[in-house]
């Protein structure tokens, strides 16, 4: 008989949405902290864009033929009868902000980073939700292949700093406008004779934007895609040189990579370099991906501005991190448990709570519990390093008992010296993950 808790209450999460409970939230925070540490080190400044944008922004940037625009966006009319959409990805909004706020006048490249929620109305399945968190990096104003390599390096460093095993970069180039004409023709010529084998989406994309076929997840379509000759053979000399230089920079940074001759991304704005970073063998999806989008700023009303960026799905990284950690908890345990007995002792304990937390000590307490033994049992379950006990006698004498939860040894000290004594007795790793 199942002992799993049954749903209760009148309301539950909507289909495709989920609550991130404290255990998983701690893992999310670990990923976010790793991202912001690397982003700062690479000189990326934080930007926060609205969750709601004009629908046309995504149609013009991501592409009307893309799956996101075609069938996955949350789009509706607001009260002014304007079509608006919840952001399905981050680059379009950041590019819009770059143009709207005249960032072209700033020293280039302008490097921006963000971590926010995205929304896609797709079929809920393992690893896919209609609301998901993503962090991203965008660099505007540099056409140097070293900038491509830096974005890849930064994403790599985030994942490597989390200790994720088996990381490898897959790289390809879609070329510029001239190269893409040849690539599209190549795709059409290869796929058209085998149209009966590909999905309905691929048939539509064959007419709207053949490059999208390369990103198909349909197995039969993938088999046809594998027959397309390598895209790099269609590149102009300039596009080929750009890719070669980017790869040489990756080699300089000791980043392992492999050329994926059919790699593409699901958005229409990509040009030249595209990449994905994968974890251990058997992973169902890439942990990070991105590329260059030199024509997007012009498409959104700005002047010609080269740009390159990347996005990383936090959920996928968290799942990879949890798989690596096994039963290890990502939640930080408190360092100290405050135990009190009686009203006067409770007031002393609350005052000490303020002093300890102000001094940077992690403290927990159960002010509603009256029994010292019960509070000690709870302190033991939480795995704290020290228990601080204030009973009626200690309250009268302005003292406190400090109990080492590992050894069971305890000592009475003056309440005035409590903070100093606690800081001196805490082990260096107190408060780390369990």
405: left (phi over 0), alpha (psi -120 to 50) or beta: alpha
What integer pLDDT is reported at residue 273 of this predicted model? 95
Per-residue pLDDT tens digits for 372-386: 888 888 888 888 899
Does residue 329 register a pLDDT over 90?
A: no
In whole angstroms, what is the distance from residue 396 CA to residue 255 CA? 64
CATH architecture of 336-425: 3-Layer(aba) Sandwich (3.40)
Does residue 144 register a pLDDT over 80?
A: yes
What integer pLDDT is reported at residue 2 of this predicted model? 44
In whole angstroms, what is the distance from residue 238 CA to residue 241 CA? 5
What integer pLDDT is reported at residue 279 of this predicted model? 87
DSSP, res 153: H
Q: Are 68 and 121 in contact (CB under 8 A)?
A: no
Of the two residues 72 and 66, the one the predictor is more confident about is 72
Sign of CA dihedral 44, 168, 316, 291: positive
How many C-beta atoms surround the C-beta of residue 178 within 10 A? 13
What integer pLDDT is reported at residue 126 of this predicted model? 62
275 confidence band (pLDDT: 50, 70, 90): very high
Beta-carbon contacts of 183 under 8 Å, excluding residues fewer than 6 positions away, are 174, 175, 210, 211, 231, 234
Does residue 433 register a pLDDT over 50?
A: no
DSSP, res 72: I
31 confidence band (pLDDT: 50, 70, 90): very high
Does residue 64 register a pLDDT over 70?
A: no
Whole-angstrom CA distances from 292 to 26, 31, 409 are 33, 24, 61
In whole angstroms, what is the distance from residue 170 CA to residue 271 CA? 16
Q: Where are the domains of the chain?
A: 22-176+236-325, 336-425
What integer pLDDT is reported at residue 340 of this predicted model? 87
Per-residue pLDDT tens digits for 355-366: 999 989 999 888
CATH superfamily, domain 22-176+236-325, is: Bira Bifunctional Protein; Domain 2 (3.30.930.10)
Does residue 348 register a pLDDT over 80?
A: yes
- Measured torsion, CA atoms of residues 115, 117, 121, 123, in degrees rounded to the nearest 10: 80
What integer pLDDT is reported at residue 432 of this predicted model? 46
What does pTM read for this prediction?
0.85
E strand residue ranges, 176-319: 257-259, 271-278, 288-292, 307-313
């Amino acid at each position: 008989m199942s002992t799993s808790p049954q749903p209760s209450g009148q309301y539950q999460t909507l289909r495709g949405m989920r609550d991130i409970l404290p255990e998983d939230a701690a893992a999310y925070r670990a990923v976010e902290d790793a991202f912001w540490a690397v982003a700062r080190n690479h000189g990326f400044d934080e930007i926060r864009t609205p969750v709601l944008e004009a629908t046309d922004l995504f149609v013009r940037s991501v592409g009307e033929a893309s799956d996101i625009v075609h069938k996955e966006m949350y789009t509706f009319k607001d009260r002014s009868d304007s079509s608006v959409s919840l952001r399905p990805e981050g680059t379009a909004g950041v590019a819009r902000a770059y143009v709207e706020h005249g960032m072209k006048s700033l020293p280039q490249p302008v490097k921006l980073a963000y971590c926010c929620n995205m929304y896609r109305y797709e079929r809920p399945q393992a690893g896919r939700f209609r609301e998901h968190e993503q962090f991203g990096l965008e660099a505007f104003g540099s056409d140097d292949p070293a900038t491509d390599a830096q974005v890849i390096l930064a994403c790599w460093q985030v994942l490597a700093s989390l200790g994720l095993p088996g990381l490898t970069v897959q790289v390809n180039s879609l070329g510029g406008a001239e190269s893409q004409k040849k690539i599209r023709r190549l795709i059409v010529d290869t796929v058209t004779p085998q149209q009966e084998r590909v999905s309905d989406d691929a048939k539509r994309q064959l007419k709207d934007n053949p490059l999208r076929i390369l990103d198909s997840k349909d197995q039969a379509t993938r088999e046809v895609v594998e027959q397309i000759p390598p895209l790099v053979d269609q590149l102009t000399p300039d596009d080929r040189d750009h890719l070669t230089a980017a790869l040489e920079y990756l080699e300089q940074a000791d980043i392992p990579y492999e050329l994926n001759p059919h790699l593409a991304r699901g958005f229409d704005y990509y040009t030249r370099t595209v990449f994905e970073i994968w974890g251990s063998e058997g992973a169902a999806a890439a942990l990070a991906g991105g590329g260059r989008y030199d024509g997007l700023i012009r498409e959104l009303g700005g002047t010609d501005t080269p740009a390159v960026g990347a996005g990383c799905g936090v959920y996928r990284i968290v799942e990879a991190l949890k798989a690596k950690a096994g039963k290890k908890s990502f939640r930080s345990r408190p360092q100290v448990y405050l135990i009190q007995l009686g009203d006067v002792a409770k007031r002393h304990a609350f005052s000490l709570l303020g002093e300890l937390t102000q001094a940077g000590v992690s403290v927990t307490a159960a002010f509603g519990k009256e029994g010292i033994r019960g509070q000690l049992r709870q302190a033991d379950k939480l795995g704290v390093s020290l228990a601080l006990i204030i009973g009626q006698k200690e309250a009268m004498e302005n003292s406190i008992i400090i109990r080492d939860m590992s050894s069971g040894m305890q000592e009475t000290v003056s309440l005035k010296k409590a903070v100093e004594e606690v800081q001196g007795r805490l082990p260096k790793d107190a408060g780390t993950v369990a």
